């Protein structure tokens, strides 16, 4: 196999500026982050130009030379062949459990949706469909590079545990797509995982987690808990006692910000082969923020710079509040040093049909704000009616079996449609398959 040169890459904290070499194993957080000061997040410093796919159907092989994980494994002494073999072997194990492995997901103009929203022939809505990906959402994209990192440390003998039998448990705070994706990957490699879920987590979801052998731990709010999600508090306590963070929050495990970029890289790769003008806008739903951070970063690395619109519901919108505070205190870009002045947990989270984006804190808000500032975009806070209408429209005019959370980006497009020209090219990402227990929208 021909060797691929890996661009120089490293980590830098977006808050305090601390740097961490890419060769550092089992480094999840900024070295200055503590239990009392979690306001740190490592971002990748990595040149990517030009972006080119090898043509492989697996995105982790197709874009391997751009993955920070590949640079890490190379630093540990793994050869090109060994790195590719680890991706393929792990992917095969994932396919056995999930029924599908990692591959490019569909991305194309959706003519019926474009017509329904009144776009012209030169504009329209491009849909990136993640619902048939591993575990039914984009979450596994972030987690796969975390898993490859762990497996590489084992293969090269730098893991802090002595054997697969003595692996510390993985841990995640979630009761939705991220939890199911993490548990699916964990089962594929026989790694124990603790999943911290809300006290009132739906039985249908916990039953789903049990199918992949997750150890479910319900998390009531304790009297002495600080503000924020009690699931995150219990998760952090588990990590402090030796569990490995295995979630999709860059503040807890920066490696999730590596693999998530493949979503944007795939879109950029597809658009390069299309004629006509470039993309004008991309609407991405935001809960914890890693999805919008990574997806837009991948697009931008591919030479595209559509305006990024980060979509939250009015029931819980800490990102829009942080954006406004950042604008008023020195600018929306590079606002990490102003974390405490801009981002804090939403005081009163209300129920929403799009329950998967009700994170009371946007953990990866800095990356999202940076990408919106760089692209001339903005956050969008949508009404619950927009959430319902987007879910209904998606099922009325497409055959994609997407969840209400997965259509939240479309809700943002509906909210902004009057300000968007008919010839603009816009993107929404449908991520999160509609499970059998989710209600179908009423069709009007």
Q: What is the pLDDT of residues 56-105, one digit of tens each?
A: 999 999 999 999 999 999 999 999 999 999 999 999 999 999 999 999 99
* 130/431 Cα distance (integer angstroms): 5
Q: What is the pLDDT of residues 190-230, one digit of tens each?
A: 999 999 998 888 888 889 999 999 999 999 999 998 888 89
| Domain extent at residue 171 | 10-99+139-256
Do 225 and 161 share a domain, yes or no?
A: yes
Question: Strands across the sheet with 215-219, in order?
Answer: 215-219, 193-198, 170-173, 244-245
Do 245 and 277 share a domain, yes or no?
A: no
DSSP character string of 210-258: HTTT-EEEEEPPPTTPPSS-HHHHHHHHHHHTTPEE-SS-TTT-TTHHH
Do 338 and 295 share a domain, yes or no?
A: yes
The CATH code of the domain that includes 119 is 3.40.50.1100
Do 177 and 299 share a domain, yes or no?
A: no
Positive or negative, the Cα torsion across 394, 395, 398, 404?
Answer: positive
Do 321 and 398 share a domain, yes or no?
A: yes
- Given a cut of 70, is residue 386 above it in pLDDT? yes
Do 78 and 154 share a domain, yes or no?
A: yes
* 130/415 Cα distance (integer angstroms): 23
- Given a cut of 50, is residue 5 above it in pLDDT? no
- Please check whether residue 289 lies inside any domain of the structure: yes
Do 403 and 269 share a domain, yes or no?
A: yes
pLDDT mean over 273-294: 91
Are 338 and 14 spatial neighbours (Cβ–Cβ below 8 Å)? no
Do 152 and 81 share a domain, yes or no?
A: yes
Looking at the chain, the whole-number percentage of residues with pLDDT higher than 90 is 86
CA dihedral 417, 419, 425, 426 (to 10 degrees): -50
Query: pLDDT class for 4, splitting at 50, 70, 90?
Result: very low
The pTM (predicted TM-score) of the whole model is 0.94
Do 334 and 218 share a domain, yes or no?
A: no
């Amino acid at each position: 196999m021909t060797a691929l040169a890996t661009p120089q890459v490293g980590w830098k904290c977006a808050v305090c500026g601390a740097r961490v070499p890419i060769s550092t194993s089992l480094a999840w957080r900024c070295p200055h982050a503590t239990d009392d000061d979690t306001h740190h997040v490592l971002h990748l410093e990595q040149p990517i130009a030009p972006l080119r796919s090898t043509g492989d159907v697996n995105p982790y092989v197709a874009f391997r030379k751009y993955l920070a994980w590949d640079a890490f494994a190379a630093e540990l002494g793994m050869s090109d062949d060994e790195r590719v073999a680890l991706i393929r072997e792990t992917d095969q194990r994932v396919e056995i459990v999930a029924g599908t492995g990692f591959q490019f997901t569909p991305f194309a103009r959706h003519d019926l949706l474009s017509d329904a929203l009144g776009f012209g022939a030169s504009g329209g809505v491009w849909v990136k469909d993640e619902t048939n990906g591993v575990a039914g959402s984009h979450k596994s994209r972030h987690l796969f590079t975390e898993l490859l990192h762990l497996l590489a440390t084992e293969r090269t003998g730098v893991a802090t545990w002595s054997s697969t039998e003595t692996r510390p448990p993985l841990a995640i705070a979630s009761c939705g797509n991220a939890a199911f994706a993490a548990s699916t990957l964990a089962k594929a490699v026989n790694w124990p995982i603790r999943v911290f879920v809300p006290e009132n987590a739906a039985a249908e979801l916990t039953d789903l987690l049990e199918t992949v052998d997750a150890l479910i731990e319900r998390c009531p709010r304790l009297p002495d808990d600080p503000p924020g999600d009690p699931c995150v508090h219990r998760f952090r306590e588990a990590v402090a006692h030796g569990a490995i963070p295995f979630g999709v929050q860059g503040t807890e495990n920066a490696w999730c910000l590596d693999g998530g970029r493949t979503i944007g890289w795939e879109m950029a790769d597809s658009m390069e082969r299309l004629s006509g003008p470039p993309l004008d806008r991309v609407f991405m739903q935001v809960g914890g923020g890693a999805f919008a951070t990574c997806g837009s970063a991948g697009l931008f690395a591919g030479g595209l710079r559509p305006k990024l619109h980060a979509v939250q519901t009015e029931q819980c919108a800490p990102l829009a509040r942080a954006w406004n505070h950042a604008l008023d205190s020195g600018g929306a870009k590079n606002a990490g040093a102003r974390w405490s002045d801009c981002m804090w947990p939403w005081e009163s989270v209300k129920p929403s049909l799009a329950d998967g984006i009700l994170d009371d804190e946007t953990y990866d808000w800095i990356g999202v704000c940076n990408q919106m500032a760089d692209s001339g975009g903005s956050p969008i806070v949508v009404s619950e009616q927009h959430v319902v209408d987007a879910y209904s429209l998606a099922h009325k005019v497409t055959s994609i079996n997407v969840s209400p959370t997965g259509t939240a980006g479309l809700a943002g497009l509906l909210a902004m449609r009057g300000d968007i020209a008919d010839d603009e090219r816009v993107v929404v990402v449908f991520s999160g398959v509609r499970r059998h227990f989710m209600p179908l929208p009423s069709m009007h």
